[in-house]
Amino acid sequence: MFHNNIGDGAFYELNPKLDNFLAYYSYQFGNIRFLRMGDPKKGGCSECYCRENTFLHALVTSLLLDQKDAVIMDMGASIEHLSRGTARGVDVMLVVVEPSRNSVNTARNVQRMASDLGIAKVGIITNKIRTRQEIEYIECLIYE
């Protein structure tokens, strides 16, 4: 049975050890752990992801700063993980970009915000490319 070490009732440990969470909430395949963080909220729900992001930030900080493991995060297609600082401390960020102005603008915002967080390496991965002109379109807007 899983036992949380974060406290009971009105008392909570402010810096709980997160190893128990990893062991309980992840799937292990050899020396690789897969961790799924929550489900999407229901449509029309006015709840935010503050608690989830706070926990994820603590978990990622623990993983990136306390261990010598490689961590690969597949973050949602938004800038929330950057605006909340959840992605702080990563070495490389890869941004998937499609040949649309909205996708390119989002990628540029991601690059800027990643730089604000001290993430020096931001790579671009193109998706849904059909022609050489679409690659040139993305390159022109991303690197202008």
pTM over 0.75: no
In this structure, are residues 95 and 122 in contact, taking their beta carbons and an 8 Å threshold? yes
Beta strand residue intervals within the chain, DSSP E: 26-29, 32-35, 92-97, 121-126
In this structure, are residues 110 and 122 in contact, taking their beta carbons and an 8 Å threshold? yes
- Sequential pLDDT tens for the chain (144 residues): 344 555 455 665 666 666 677 777 778 888 787 876 666 667 776 667 677 777 777 777 776 666 667 777 777 777 777 877 777 778 889 999 999 999 999 999 999 999 998 988 999 999 999 999 999 999 888 877
